[in-house]
Amino acid sequence: MSKTVLITGATSGFGKASVHRFANSGWRVIATGRRAERLQELVNELGADKVHPAAFDICDPAAMDNALAKLPAPFKNVDLLINNAGLALGTAPAQESDLDQWNTMIDTNVRALITLTHKLLPGLIKRKGAIINISSVAASYPYPGGNVYGGTKAFVVQFSLGLRSDLHGTGVRVTSVEPGMAETEFTLVRTKGNQEASDKLYKGANPMTGEDIADTLLWIASLPAHMNINRIELMPVNQSFSPFQVYRVGN
C-alpha cells in the first residue's frame, strides 16, 4: 500500500524535486508552500491522486491547522514528514543585520518546523512513521554573515537528535539532513531577488541540485524500518573548508 509524505517548501528547490521523486516512486504527496500556482503545476504534472496541494504560510499556525483539517481522506494519514521549508535572509554581519530578518528566519526555520512536527507527532507515532528535517552545513561550520541562519539550523540538528531520544521505542525514525551548496532559489531569496549574485555564487562551482537532495531523501525514506540515519552531511566536491581567520593588530 502506498504511503503519504508531507513535504513543506514544495514550490521550489529541494521540496519541488522531492515531490517529483516521491510521487514517481509510488508515494502520495502533500505539497505545501505559499505559492499556490506552483503547487497546482505539480498536481497538473503528477496527478491529483498523487499530489494534494496545501497552500499556506507555514508561519501562520491557524492556516496550518486549516490545511491539515482539510486533507482529503486518501492523504489524511501522514507516514513521513519532511520539514524542508526554510530560508536565509541577508549576509550582513550580526552588528549590521536587520532584526526583522532574524525573526523571520527563526519563525520559519524553527517555530514553524516545531509547530508542524508537534501537530503530526501523534499520527506519526501511531503509524511508526518518520521525520526528515532539513538542516544545513551552516549548523556545524560558522561563516561570516551566517549568524542567525546558522543558529536556526543548529537548532534543527539538536531538535532532531532530541526527538530521536524522546521517540525511543516508538519505531519513529528521525533524520537531520545537512546539505552544503545547492543551486535552488535559496540565494535569490537570501539576496532579495538578486539573480546576478545568485548566478555568481554558483558559477563554476558545480553545486548540488534539488534532485541530488531529493534522491538522498528518498533513499533515507526507503531504508529498512530497523535502520535510522541520524545525521547526514552533503557537499558538492568543489566545496570544502577554510582555515580560521586571524585578525592581527596593526594591520
Residue 11 interacts with ligand NDP (CB under 6 A): yes or no: yes
Give me 123's grid cell: 499520527
Binding residue for ligand NDP (CB under 6 A) from 22, 155, 159, 186? 186
Shorter beta-carbon distance to ligand NDP: residue 70 or 126 = 70
Shorter beta-carbon distance to ligand 8X3: residue 129 or 179 = 179
**Which entry of 143, 149, 202, 247 is annotated as an active-site residue?**
149
CA distances from residue 88 to 52, 101, 133, 146 in whole angstroms, order as listed = 27, 9, 16, 8
Identify what 11 binds: ligand NDP, ligand 8X3, none; CB under 5 to 8 Å per kind.
ligand NDP
From the CB of 201, what's the least distance to ligand 8X3, in Å?
8
Rounded Cα gap, residues 49 and 182, in angstroms: 30
Pick the stretch among 29-37, 46-54, 69-77, 162-170 that binds ligand NDP (CB under 6 A): 29-37
Residue 86 interacts with ligand NDP (CB under 6 A): yes or no: yes
Residues that bind ligand 8X3 (CB under 6 A): 136-138, 146, 180-181
Tell me the number of residues near ligand NDP by CB under 6 A: 27
Rounded Cα gap, residues 58 and 116, in angstroms: 8
Question: Catalytic residue at 141?
Answer: no
Binding string to ligand NDP for residues 190 to 229, with x set by CB under 6 A, is what?
----------------------------------------
Give me 171's grid cell: 519505531
Q: DSSP letter at 192?
A: T
- Nearest CA among 38, 32, 41, 40 for reference residue 66: 32
**Counting Cβ atoms within 10 Å, is residue 177 exposed (0-12), middle (13-18) or buried (19+)?**
buried
| Bridge-based pairing state of the strands 173-179 and 231-234 | parallel
Identify what 159 binds: ligand NDP, ligand 8X3, none; CB under 5 to 8 Å per kind.
none
Helix (H) or strand (E) holding 130: strand 130-134
- Nearest CA among 152, 149, 150, 144 for reference residue 92: 144
Pick the stretch among 13-21, 23-31, 115-123, 167-175 that binds ligand NDP (CB under 6 A): 13-21
Give me 169's grid cell: 521505542
Identify what 189 binds: ligand 8X3, ligand NDP, none; CB under 5 to 8 Å per kind.
ligand NDP
Residues 6+ apart with CB under 8 A from 119: 64, 65, 68
Q: Which residues bind ligand NDP (CB under 6 A)?
A: 9-15, 33-35, 57-59, 84-87, 108, 134, 136, 179, 181-182, 184-186, 189
Task: Point out the residues that are catalytic.
Answer: 149
